[in-house]
Amino acid sequence: MKMSFRWYGDTDPVKLEYIRQIPGIHSIVSAIYDVPVGEVWPIDKLQALKARIESVGLKFDVVESIPVHEDIKQGKPTRDRLIANFQQNIRNCAAVGVKVICYNFMPVFDWTRTSVGTVLPDGSTTLSFDASQVQEIDPEQGISLPGWDASYKPEELKKVLAEYKDIGEEQLWANLEYFLKKMIPVAEEAGVRMGMHPDDPPRPIFGLPRIVKNRDDLMRLVKMVDSPANGITLCSGSLGADLCNNIESLVHEFGGMGRIPFGHLRNVAVEEDGTFYESAHLSCEGSLDMAKILKAYHDVDFDGYVRPDHGRMIWGETGKPGYGLYDRALGVVYLNGLWEAITKFVPAEHA
C-alpha cells in the first residue's frame, strides 16, 4: 500500500514541505488546476508540477482529477473533440510518469455537502450533508450549496440542469460507455490505470441521474470495458454514506479482481435517512470500521495507492474545508499504524 496525500499546488495553504514531514508519505496526488475543463494540459505544466513534488523527495504518481466535460456526459456532438483532449491528457500524464488517473462521471455537481462548518462536540468543524435540507431544495428556484455558488452563476446552473431533464440513468450509462470505449484503449497503451470515483453522495440529487453508487453499478462499470486499465477509485466515505454498501466486501470483490488502483480512506457518521457528517478517521468516530477495511485491502494483496480524505478542521486551522493539514496528517499516522499491525500480525485471506 502506497500512502499519498492530496495537494493543490503552491496556492494550497498546506505547504508541500510540511506534507513531506508526515511519516509514511510515499507520493503526492495533484492535478493542473488553471486549464479550462475539457482542454489539454500542457506537458510543461505537468513537468513543472512533477519537478516541484520531487524537489521535496516525494513522487507524483496519481492525478486527481481530470474533469470530464458536461458535453461528454450529455453525449453532445462536441464530445468527440473533448474526448480527444482527454485522451491527450492521459498521454501527457503518462509521459511524466503518472501511474493512476482519478476522474468521475457525476452530472453537474462533484461531491455535494450542505455545510462546510458543522461543529462537532469536540469543537472541530467538518463537512456534512443534511438529506432533509437537500430534499427541500427546488432546482427551479435556484440552488445554494457550499462550493457550488462559485462554480455556476444562477442562470448557468439553471441552464445545465435543464439540459439533463431528458437524460435518465440509462442514457448516462450509454454516454459513459461511449467515453470508456474511446478512453480505456489509450490508457492501456500509455500504461495508465483509470480509477472512476463513485457518486458522492451515492444517490440521486436534484433529479439528476447518478450511476456509480453501489456494488452493482461498480460491476457494470468494470465490465463495460473489461480491462485492468478500467478501474475504481474506491472511496470509503462516498460509498459508505449509504449504509447498504459494505466497504470491506467491495474491497474484497473489486480488489480481488485487480480493479482498485486508488483508494480514498475516510470515515463518515451516517444516519438512516442518509444524513451524514465526515468524522475523524478512527473506527470509533464514524459508521465505518477502518480496521476491517484495511484488513480487506491486505487480504487482496493490495499494492496500489491510498490517501486520507476530507479531514476535519482542527486546532484552529483555516483554509479549504476538508483539506487542512492536521487532521489528514493524523489520518495518515492512524491508517499506517493499522496497516503495519495488520501486515505483521494478521495472515492474509486471499479473495
Q: What is the CATH number of the domain that holds 199?
A: 3.20.20.150
Q: How many structural domains compose the chain?
A: 1
222 contacts 250 by C-beta, under 8 angstroms? no
State the residue range of the domain holding 69: 2-345
351 falls within a domain: no
Q: Where are the beta strands (DSSP E) in 178-304?
A: 193-197, 230-235, 262-265, 268-270, 276-278
Give the pLDDT of residue 171: 97
- Residues with pLDDT less than 70, the chain: 147-151, 348-351
Give the pLDDT of residue 149: 54
Residue 217 cell numbers, joined: 453499478
10 falls within a domain: yes
Distance CA 107, CA 69 (A): 9
12 falls within a domain: yes
CA 92 to chain centre: 21
Look at the block and give the residue holding cell 450549496: 145
- Classified as helix, coil or strand, 194 is strand
- Classified as helix, coil or strand, 103 is strand
Strand partners, 118: 126
Catalytic (active-site) positions? 197, 235, 264, 309-310, 323
Distance CA 335, CA 23 (A): 11
Look at the block and give the residue holding cell 463537512: 127
Q: Render pLDDT for 284-302 as a digit per residue (tens, 0 to 9).
A: 999 999 999 999 999 999 9
208 falls within a domain: yes
Give the pLDDT of residue 184: 98
Helix-then-strand count for the chain, H and E: 13, 12
323 falls within a domain: yes
Q: Render pLDDT for 277-286 as a digit per residue (tens, 0 to 9).
A: 999 999 999 9
350 falls within a domain: no
Distance CA 137, CA 143 (A): 7
85 falls within a domain: yes
Strand partners, 208: 205
111 falls within a domain: yes
Give the pLDDT of residue 143: 74
Largest Cα–Cα separation, the chain: 57
Give the pLDDT of residue 351: 41
Give the pLDDT of residue 148: 60
